Amino acid sequence: MRKTPYTKALMDSEFWLTTQLEEMNKAQWEAICDGCAKCCLHKFIDDEEAGDISEQEATPTAVGNEGEEVFFTNIACQLLHTKSCECTQYQRRSELVPHCITLTKDNLKDIFYMPKSCSYRRMHEGRGLASWHPLLNKGKKTKMHELDVTIRGRTVNENEIDMQSFEDYIVTWPLADVD
């Protein structure tokens, strides 16, 4: 499980107001993650022209192609602890789940399917942190849970369903941009 990155020193520094994403150190970068866990939900791209594409062939792209649509599901990665909204194997996640994408300064601009509420996306787009972000709330996710910004209580584990029926699990709530 990932250790909560919201330290008093980081919160007191208000680094997010003066430091661009590409200039952040590792601790600052990790603290920008709001911990909503929406990135741990399975997403599918519907492309009528491409036909069926396996997960092994799917790669992130800078922009969605014409005719493509991204669908979020409430299907959560098997490594996700759904109450804390944290990965149980955070340091090894990319090794254990090969299609898990580690968001970095280098690939942020290429991951067009991050939800609009994602703090990295908000910062990248110049919108700043949302009022519910833990950095603005003493390092706590309480406000996020109250506003239903996180995945808590709304997911199913990927090991408990037939992934061939993913269409039955398509949801729109991850797309909400609450502020």
Is 174 a member of any domain?
Answer: no
Is 149 a member of any domain?
Answer: yes
pLDDT score for 134: 96
Q: What is the pLDDT of residues 149-178, one digit of tens each?
A: 999 999 999 999 998 899 999 999 999 998
**Interstrand relation of 156-157 and 170-171 (parallel, antiparallel or unpaired):** unpaired
Is 51 a member of any domain?
Answer: yes
Q: In the chain, how many domains are there? A: 1
Domain ranges, residue 15: 8-169
Residue 168's nearest CA partner among 66, 77, 95, 73 is 73
Is 175 a member of any domain?
Answer: no
Is 177 a member of any domain?
Answer: no
Which of 74-78, 101-105, 115-119 is least confident? 101-105
Q: What is the pLDDT of residues 118-142, one digit of tens each?
A: 999 999 999 999 999 999 999 999 9
Is 176 a member of any domain?
Answer: no
DSSP string, 87-122: ETTGGGHHHHSTTPPPP-TTTGGG-TTS-TT-HHHH
Is 179 a member of any domain?
Answer: no
Is 101 a member of any domain?
Answer: yes
d(CA 135, CA 31): 7
Place of tokens 């994602």: 118
Report residue 131: phi and psi, to 5°. -60, -20
Residue 80's nearest CA partner among 1, 143, 15 is 1
The pTM for the full model equals: 0.85
